[in-house]
Amino acid sequence: MDAQRWKLPAIIAAVILVGGTLAGILWIGANKLEGTPGFFGPAPLIADINLALEILLVAGLTFGFFLARSGNIDAHQYNQTTWVLLNVVLVAFIMAASMQDVRPAKMADFAEARIGITWLHALAGSFTVVSGLWIVLQMNGIVPKRWRIKWWKNLMRATLAGYWIVALGGIATYYFWYVG
Ligand code: HEM
């Protein structure tokens, strides 16, 4: 496959998906629509958008894993870069701000399922985001040579597992916030 031929369409798709999501979140915020009813049922709109996009991106990252396995390394690079950046937008513009709703007043508050699960999710999520971002920067030649991780293939596998585990933790978070 001619990698150069796919580079421009891949960049355009990434800009539309990541930029479009960011613009959508900012628009929802500017019009104070975050709290309006969502489309899955009990949760507000912004949580349902987050949930739907996180499920889509974990599926997309998993698809990208198979692209690499089948030798489509350039497609793998473009694909993973897009989903990792989408995740960064969701963390920075939806999830980080929501942490204020689970601020513990005392240590014992972590025993409360909603608070404890959300913090565990946020901790594992932070490691996964940093690791995903590092791999993407290395993949795209932005990390200086001396900082490049040699065992990055194993790091990629562990990070993909991280996205799965954190997304499942996110579903548990959703449950304790809006259902249970
Ligand atoms: C690999 C990275 C991550 C994935 C795949 C992920 C996935 C999810 C999913 C699927 C949900 C349920 C939808 C929702 O309730 O909005 C969720 C909720 C949440 N996540 Fe994450 N997450 C990640 C990283 C993080 C990080 C780094 C933080 C903290 C800084 C965080 C904090 C939260 C919070 C507070 C919620 C509840 C948000 C709300 O409903 O308003 N997550 N996450």
State the CATH number of the domain containing residue 61: 1.20.120
d(CA 93, CA 79): 21
pLDDT tens, residue by residue, 116-130:
999 999 999 999 999
The count of domains in the chain is: 1
Ligand 1 atom with the smallest distance to the CA of 58 is 5
- The reply to whether ligand 1 has any atom less than 6 angstroms from the CB of 161 is no
**Confidence category of residue 6, pLDDT binned at 50, 70, 90:** confident
- Of the candidates 18, 123, 122, the one whose C-alpha atom is nearest the C-alpha of residue 60 is 18
Q: How far is the CA of 172 from the centre of ligand 1 (A)?
A: 10
Ligand 1 contact, 131 CB (< 6 A):
no
> Cα(75)–Cα(149) distance, rounded to whole angstroms?
21
Ligand 1 pocket check for 48: Cβ under 6 Å = no
Measured from the CB, is residue 159 less than 6 Å from ligand 1? no
Closest Cα to atom 28, ligand 1: which residue? 122
Domain of residue 159 covers 3-34+43-179
Pick the range with the lowest mean pLDDT from 1-5, 127-131, 132-136: 1-5
Distance from the CA of 4 to the center of ligand 1, in angstroms? 35
- Residue 129 CB–ligand 1 contact under 6 Å: yes
In this predicted structure, the answer to whether residue 131 has a pLDDT above a threshold of 90 is yes
- pTM here is 0.95
Name the pLDDT band for 67 (thresholds 50, 70, 90): very high
Contact yes or no for 156/135 (Cβ under 8 A): yes
**Nearest atom within ligand 1 for CA of residue 162:** 1
Compute, in angstroms, the gap from residue 26 CA to the centroid of ligand 1: 17
Q: Smallest Cα–Cα separation from 148: which of 140, 106, 163, 112?
A: 140
Alpha carbons within 13 A on the beta-carbon side of 111: 3
Q: Is the pLDDT of residue 3 over 90?
A: no
Q: Kindly report the protein residue whose alpha carbon is nearest to atom 5 of ligand 1.
A: 167
Q: Report the sign of the C-alpha dihedral through residues 25, 26, 28, 32, in that order.
A: positive
